[in-house]
Amino acid sequence: MCGIAGQVRDDGAAVSPALLHAMCEALEHRGPDSRGVHLEGAVGLGIQRLRVIDLDTGDQPIYNEDRSIAVVLNGEIYNFRELREELRSRGHVFATKGDTEVIVHLYEERGPDCVRALNGMFAFALWDAREQRLLLARDRVGKKPLFYSARRGALSFASELRSLMSDPEISRELDHDALDCYYAYQYVPSPLSAFKAVAKLAPGHTLVWQAGRITTERYWQLDYSRKRTASKPELEEELREHIRAAVRRRMIADVPLGAFLSGGVDSSAVVAVMAQESAQPVQTFSIGFDRAAYNELAYARQVAELFATDHHELTVHPSAIDLLPRIVRHYGEPFADSSAIPSFYVSELARRHVTVALNGDGGDESFAGYNRYISNTVAGRLERGLPLWTRRLGARIGERLPGHPNAKSALSRAKRLSRSLALTGPERYARHMSYFDAWARADLYTPEYRALTAASPAAAIIAEPWHRASGSDLVDVLLEVDVNTYLPGDLLVKMDIATMAHSLEARSPLLDHELMEFAASVPAELKLRGMEKKILLRDAVRTWLPDEILDRPKMGFAVPLADWFRHELRGYATDVLLDPRTLDRGYFRPEAVRGLIERHVGGLEDCSPKLWALLVAELWHREFVDVAAAVPAAAPSA
């Protein structure tokens, strides 16, 4: 696990060594063990390495036999041993024992299509000196990030936005359409970034730069249209074997490894297999809160005791808000998933003991684990069964329902469902996934900011993958939309940044692409039926886990923000959000912001996700926009 950065030019200038080292320095937390650079006139590749596999000979960049190809890799290639044997049989000579070297030799064989043979999580940059070609690639699901900025004469790239913005040639003009998407979804979706001059390489894509021309290509996507006809017991056994294989692949390491354990279905299943495969007790790490409704530590302890793990836990208190400026700094652009807080804490806890931690990410998106899948399938049935005038009447009634201080209450859910009845499927899901939906953003923004963001693609973020979806069942459509939006844009960003901030490598067995392809082929009724979620996954792992773990209500990695904003953090939120410095940006109507605070503090409505999004955005502006404006960047000397 590492951080990569670099630049390629076609304007006659050489890449600045000082710039390359500055970009690497900004990534040192991702890879504190070594720095490597490849400088060759108009091209520069940099790598900060966290040594996990091949500790002695695996430092990067890695080259082919005649050094005409150089590669830097952020991530892990899990099938590297099989690929090494295949490539050796074809005459390739290996100088290292690690996984990175298979990429250069695969490229010699297959060119940019080499990426299709890789099983892993990765973002890599490869320079082909003979062809004067740069290849950038990102793994299928988007576990490893890659930002880039292309302009006349040069292309720069980096694992994190903060590193990329070390390049003084890159404009810092804000992309307010991207910020509008952030206020909607709490993250900036790919390929957008907070800055107009910067893009994210989308998951499952390659980018080829040659002679100043850029070509991007999607090389992988799930297909939900082809369904298995095997019996449920046969599918359960096949799923168990996929999980076993995915976990085994991710236990290959030359450093200590452990697992994040929440006590939920997904992380518990991963720990179960790790315990079966390990000769030593598995090290497990859990985070809890001092509010009982958010505390899963008892369940995590139960699983830890069942598998005799070496268990570690930590309770998070409201003082965690002190971590917020550091979180903002690491994420590099606005990111308002509040579970980044416990993710940071559990990563810090784990790093004291291990270098690699497995987790349960991905089970909900493959096997239908969210309550929103239930509510949207119910709404879909109502849409088909009720005339439009009836649904519009229900929506008007929903608008008049009172707010509730608990967003998960029956009243809050009924209000959201009824308000969405008059919408189309993608409109409904976009509203469901929005923290500030289109109406709320219109009310929040000043007239000037509404005009500035009038062309925002926020609605299309959900609508486009919805209309492209390969599945015919609504459940599969919802899953496919999430795999293309929420999963890579929110969950994987959260985990990558939180772990890498502590030089910890996170591995996600349930995001193995072969397991995900299997899940996409499972009939929808074996994922969600009525109020029952994750049917196949739960039943498949009943041979490993007790019913009280498998059948308990889902809690998620939620943070007690509502309580914090009504008590310990009330003054802090008010001070920042109503500060003239915040309001003078001209984005928000002061009375709208004040109304959110008053409704929340008064217990009329749970506005905590909205307040958190506004708070994070303002701190990001102060860290990345105001500071940059006050101190103009100077070009690094060569």
pLDDT at residue number 317: 78
User: How many C-beta neighbours within 10 Å does residue 115 have?
Assistant: 25
pLDDT of residue 483: 98
CATH code of the domain made up of 2-218: 3.60.20.10
**CB distance 143 to 94 below 8 Å:** no
What mean pLDDT is predicted for residues 220-243?
97
The one catalytic residue among 2, 24, 114, 181: 2
Instruction: Please report which confidence band the pLDDT of residue 635 belongs to, taking 50, 70 and 90 as the band edges.
Output: very low
- Residue range 607-636: average pLDDT? 83
> Quick check: 305 pLDDT over 60?
yes
The structure's pTM equals: 0.93
pLDDT for residue 537 is more than 50: yes
Give the pLDDT band of residue 293 (cuts 50, 70, 90): confident
* Confidence class for position 366, pLDDT limits 50, 70, 90: very high
Q: What does the alpha-carbon distance between residue 467 and residue 481 come to, in Å, rounded to a whole number?
A: 9
What percent of the chain stands above pLDDT 70? 92
Question: Per-residue pLDDT tens for 311-352?
Answer: 999 988 777 678 889 999 999 999 999 999 999 999 999 999
Q: Are 73 and 102 in contact (CB under 8 A)?
A: no
pLDDT surpassing 60 at residue 514? yes
Compute the distance between CA of residue 47 and CA of residue 75 in angstroms, rounded to an integer: 12
86, with CB counted inside 10 A (0-12, 13-18, 19+), is middle
Amino acid 459: pLDDT: 95
Residues of the chain with CATH 3.40.50.620: 222-315+333-386+447-547
Q: State the pLDDT at residue 363.
A: 97
Q: Please say whether the beta carbons of 361 and 488 come within 8 A.
A: no
Structure tokens at 448: 């000037």
User: What tokens were used for 267?
Assistant: 């992380």
Model confidence band, residue 190 (pLDDT cutoffs 50, 70, 90): very high
**CB-based burial, 195-217: b 16+ in 10 Å, e otherwise:** bbbbbbbbbbbbbbbeeeeeeee
**71 torsion bin: left (phi>0), alpha (psi -120 to 50), beta (else):** beta
- Mean pLDDT, rounded, for 537-545: 97
607 carries an active-site annotation? no
Instruction: Give me the phi and psi of 208, to 5 degrees please.
Output: -115, 125
The answer to whether the Cα torsion of 322, 183, 122, 155 is positive or negative is negative
Contact between residue 335 and residue 495 where contact means Cβ atoms under 8 Å apart: no
Distance from chain centroid for Cα 578 = 31
400-409, 422-431, 479-488, 610-619: lowest mean pLDDT where? Answer: 400-409
Task: Give the pLDDT confidence score for residue 356 in this predicted structure.
Answer: 97
Confidence of residue 54 (pLDDT cuts 50, 70, 90): confident
> Residues 560-602: pLDDT tens digits?
889 989 988 889 999 999 999 999 999 999 999 999 999 999 9
Residue intervals of the chain classified under CATH 3.60.20.10 are 2-218
222-315+333-386+447-547: CATH number = 3.40.50.620
